[in-house]
Amino acid sequence: MAYLPPGVHPQTLTPGLHPVFLTDLEQITQPDRLAKFNAQAVFVAKFKSVQGAIPVDLVMKFRGTKGDYYAGLNVERLHVAAGLDAPAPGENLDLENLKNLLDGVELTLEINDLGYGAAIFANELLGEDVV
């Protein structure tokens, strides 16, 4: 763990489901940063929790493996939450439009046991079976 001054405590969300708002959405395109993620494509969704405004990121890494399925689900869920159709495989994403459509929309972020964002859900989809 990195140095923290006395009296400073990291703000984290406990494992489970948390209401959040999207604050930024970006695609990492720099080859050196992609190499650090060991991925062919990376999208980072940045959120703040409704309670406490705690920042948390959801990293969606595409490596050309079976795990890409879960990253793809998160990309699709962001589109559905914005009222858009899920993007087709290979389709270029309009991240700026997606950010604008999600501005002010409350979403639900699942935090895993390590404190990282694991999955995003539109609140109306929470009643459905979730993978």
Question: What does the pLDDT average to over 87-102?
Answer: 93
Give the pLDDT confidence of 50-83 residue by residue, as tens digits: 988 889 999 999 999 998 999 999 999 999 999 9
Question: Is residue 2's pLDDT more than 80?
Answer: no
Higher pLDDT, 13 or 99: 99
| Rounded percentage of the chain residues whose pLDDT exceeds 90 | 66
Give the pLDDT confidence of 5-52 residue by residue, as tens digits: 777 766 778 899 999 999 999 999 999 999 999 999 999 999 999 988
State the pLDDT at residue 6: 79
What's the whole-number average pLDDT of the chain? 88
Please list, residue by residue across 22-61, b when 16 or more beta carbons sit within 10 angstroms of its beta carbon and e when fewer do.
Answer: bbebeebeeeeebeeeebebbbbbbbebeeeeeebebbbb
| Residues paired with 47 in a beta bridge | 22, 56
- H helix and E strand count, the chain: 3, 5
CA distances from 131 to 72, 117, 125 (A): 12, 15, 12
